[in-house]
Structure formats: C-alpha cells, structure tokens
Amino acid sequence: MLTVNFWVEDIVAVVRAKVGNLRRYEVPCAVDVRRMPPLRRYVDMGLAEIRNDVLVVRRDAVTATPLGGAVTKTISCLSTRPTPVKKVAECTGMDVAKTAFVVSLLRVLFPATLEIFGGYSADSVLAQYGVGAKLPARELWDEITKLAERGIVAPNPALIKGGRPTVVRSRAAKYSIPPILAAIDYRDAVVLDVGSGFGTKGAATIRWGARHVILLDIDETILRARGNGLLIDRIVGDAHMLPIRSRGVDVAIFWNVYNFLHRPEEAVAEIKRVAKRAVAFSVYNALSGRYVAYRQFLDTASKWGRVKAVRRLGDSQYQAVVEL
C-alpha cells in the first residue's frame, strides 16, 4: 500500500506505507519532539505528551478542536463494510465535501487503516505516479478528495483487532549523512556534535579522518542508544552552556538544533568559543519551533567566520559550512 510524505515545501513524495527511511521512500516516524517538529507543535498545543518514550494522545483535547471533532465523528460513522462517503456524511451531519476531506486525510495519514474506492482506489492513484514520484501536494490532494466525494470508504478489518503499541524512531534521522558535511577538513580533528541525537553525523567524521568525536545531547537515553566507540565520547549537556574548554575542539556540528533552543544566540556564542577550525550549521523550519529566515541564517553563520558552502532546501531547511 502507498501513501505520501512531504518532501520539500509543498512537494510530496509517493512512498511505501511502512516505517523506514524517506530516502528509500518509506515513512519516517519518531516520538522525539526535537527530531519530529510537528510532534512538538501537538505537545505545545496540549494534544499529546510523551511519557517514557511513548506517545500519549489526549483524546479529549483532540476531539475539542474543529478538525479533531470532525475526524472523531467520521471514524464513529465508519462501518466494517464498504460505505459510500455520502452515507458517512449523512451520519456525521457534515456536508459531503468536508467528510471527503476528512476521509482523504485519514487515508493519507493512516494508509493501512482504510481505503477509498470509486471505480479505482486511492492506492492506484498513487501507483500511477510510482514510488519516489514528487508532485505538488495540492494536485494530489484534489485528485484524492474528488475520488472520495463520489466514492466509498472501506476500513481495513485487520487493524480493528487492536494490538500492542510500538515505539519507533526515525531511521532516516538515525542514518542519513548530509553531503555538505564532506566539505569540511576533518583530518586529525576533534569534533563536537552539539545536539547529536544518535550521533550519526559526528561518528561519520571518523571515516573522514577525525581523531576524536564528542557527542553532546541533553537526552541521556538517546546517547545510550548510540553505544560505545573507542574514538567517541558521549556527554549529557546543554547547548546554551557547553562543558568544553575554550578552543577545545576543531570542528563543531550544530545541526537542526538552533530552531528549538530557548536562547539560540547563547548557543551560537558557545560554539564560537569552543570551535577553532569549522562549523557545520543547519536550521530546520518546521511547523513548530522558531522560524529562521534565509538572511537570518546567513547572518548567524557569518558570526563564526567565512561561509564556505551553502545548501538551501526551499524555505524548510538551510545548511552551511563555515570556516573559522
């Protein structure tokens, strides 16, 4: 079964409906609010919380929102048998267009839960583009909602049985190495990965000649998941006050952390204090967190030194390598 995942800005990619790596066109998933920014928004809105690495949805808060209420009504009106969306609309008391919107949303977000048919299926719509195809979200959305307005919806009975909750973390975030990182000279360098998470980016620099790597994150659980390495140290610490001596590292990696700090300017100053060769810098403009304009990104990078390389992924992410 296929679904879609946002790629860059308003472009979506057709992906397989399985948790995995977005680069392999699978659905990335996580329960880490710092590495799954939309989740941060839901937590801030009081719609969900994370307890012991498990996502807990506050049902009452969700159903109190207009969209949450519409989704709840729609789900309650679904049958284990194929049902025309017009019939579902009669049950919900909403018009057909709004009901079709909600049904389409459920199909895209939870592709294994239900399917839409109308002479052909939503899955066949995605299949005609093919896994890996990238197209405007609006174009695809219009096609699926029009199918839903005149079609039927059939829940997947296999999922009605229930089951154990599964905690997953984004394999894409865990294993991906941004190509721009290779623009830095790591030979015999001590590298500090600030807000490292699993530390994949920091650890990758060993292959490029780094002498030693320090992974720093405020989350001890994530650092423990990294495991041990002869050339790697793991430190629980805060980006606002780095437990590193001045000019104590050659290269600092500051990747997708800036947007989510309370006082990012303090972290910028701390990185300038401890790094002496280069900084790898990235910001991620998601729905939650602080939005950073491209000019602001460049101005921030320039505080460390000369910007050597820049990569811009629309307005959603900016990446840079800075020479000190």
Could you state, in order of their start, the residue ranges of all structural domains in the chain?
2-159, 177-323
**The predicted structure's pLDDT at residue 160:** 45
Q: Is the CATH number of domain 177-323 1.10.260.30?
A: no
The model's pTM is 0.51
Q: What angle do helix axes 137-150 and 122-129 make, rounded to 10 degrees?
A: 150
**The predicted structure's pLDDT at residue 37:** 57
Q: What does the pLDDT look like over 186-196, one tens digit per residue?
A: 999 999 999 99
Residue by residue, DSSP assigns 194-241 as ET-TT-HHHHHTTTTT-SEEEEEES-HHHHHHH--BTTEEEEE-BTTB
Q: Are 254 and 267 in contact (CB under 8 A)?
A: yes
Q: What does the pLDDT look like over 160-196, one tens digit per residue?
A: 444 443 333 344 444 467 889 999 999 999 999 999 9
Contacts for 48 with CB less than 8 Å, ≥ 6 apart: 39, 42, 55, 56, 57, 58
| 3-state secondary structure (DSSP) of residue 33 | coil
Q: What does the pLDDT look like over 1-32, one tens digit per residue?
A: 788 877 666 788 888 877 666 667 777 665 56
**The predicted structure's pLDDT at residue 273:** 97
Strongest mean pLDDT among 9-23, 49-63, 264-278, 289-303: 264-278
Give the tokens for residue 17.
């409906």
Q: What does the pLDDT look like over 50-80, one tens digit per residue?
A: 776 667 778 888 888 998 899 989 988 987 7
Q: What does the pLDDT look like over 235-262, one tens digit per residue?
A: 999 999 999 999 999 999 999 999 888 8
Residues 315-319, mean pLDDT to the nearest whole number: 87
Confidence class for position 211, pLDDT limits 50, 70, 90: very high
Q: Are 237 and 195 in contact (CB under 8 A)?
A: no
